[in-house]
Amino acid sequence: MEKRKKEMKISVNAPSYKRANEVLTLAYLPFCKVWVDEGEEDEYREHYPDAEIISCPKGIQGNVARVRNYILRQEMAAGYDVVCIVDDDLYRLERYVKQEGSQFGYIKEKIETDDFLMFIEKYSIIAEDIGAKFWGVNINTDPMAYRHASPFSTVSPVLGPFQCFMKGNRCFYDEALPLKEDYDMTLQQLNLERVILRLNAYHYVCKQSVNEGGCASYRNREREKQQIEALRQKWGSDIVKMDTTNKGRSKKKKLEDYNPIIHIPIKGI
């Protein structure tokens, strides 16, 4: 194998909207670029004077898919090898490590701030080696979701709180799906590239669906259902299904989850 001659050029980014006083990610990743609406730039700078605050042109913010596309295009054009996009409320990455005497034989270990870029480079190299243009981590923090015999997956969803795009990425977010853009991105990548890299031992920790602002400013149950239906119309009912399990509640009552169940019809891990 040809030896790599230089370190990867990595860009870490967080879109943020109407959260000028609560960008939790900056406490964990102070080098993260924060992309904001031009009308909120001064307020963000006031709260985070040492952060790299980038103003988006008018009309970009207010749709998370649109602002993520703007970030991708800007950073790829700037020559980065890896563009990492995280939520502005992500405050740690963790992994399960084996230790005797703990639940399932594993405990959680934080990826420290000083190790974050090394972590990105290490797994970006692996993604590159298997032909993936897109990678991320487990979407579930429950140790039962850690597939012990499968340290990584190639056809499992990688969602919005932590996503990495490799140089040469050909997929962009569907701006008609601003609440399900991350599920759609997984499907786009697998449809086009036939592989993604998901690290099953690692997971993100964030305040998803808790904080005000961001997607919460235009999210409600009816809009969620409409977005899932639009995703199903795009990819078909064999691939996108509604979660109607009762999740341990009354056996007589079925619920519609805010997130779909994705069935990937190609071979992989």
Greater confidence (214 vs 74) lies with 74
Give residue 211's pLDDT.
54
Which whole-number Å values give the CA distances from 81 to 13, 123, 125, 247, in the listed order?
14, 13, 10, 41
Q: Which domains does the chain have, with CATH numbers?
A: 10-262 (3.90.550)
Give residue 104's pLDDT.
63
Task: Of 53-62, 186-195, 198-207, 208-217, give the lowest mean pLDDT range.
Answer: 208-217
Is 256's pLDDT higher than 90? no
Can you read off the two tokens belonging to residue 151?
A: 């340290």
Is 3's pLDDT higher than 70? no
Tell whether the torsion through CA atoms of 32, 33, 36 and 38 is positive or negative.
positive
Is 106's pLDDT higher than 70? yes
Is 101's pLDDT higher than 80? no
Can you read off the two tokens belonging to residue 176?
A: 């008609």
Give residue 269's pLDDT.
93
How far is residue 87's CA from residue 65's CA, in Å, rounded to a whole number? 12
Is 47's pLDDT higher than 80? yes
Is 170's pLDDT higher than 80? yes
Can you count the helices (H) and strands (E) in the chain? 6, 12
Q: What mean pLDDT is reported for the chain?
A: 90
- 213 band by pLDDT with thresholds 50, 70 and 90: very low
Is 228's pLDDT higher than 60? yes
- 69 band by pLDDT with thresholds 50, 70 and 90: very high
- The pLDDT of 145-169, averaged and rounded, is 93
Instruction: With residue 125 as reference, give the H or E element that holds it.
Output: helix 116-130
How far is residue 51's CA from residue 44's CA, in Å, rounded to a whole number? 9
3-state secondary structure of 80: coil
Greater confidence (83 vs 217) lies with 83
- 144 band by pLDDT with thresholds 50, 70 and 90: confident
Percent of the chain clearing pLDDT 70 (strictly above): 87
Which whole-number Å values give the CA distances from 183 to 111, 116, 139, in the listed order?
25, 25, 11
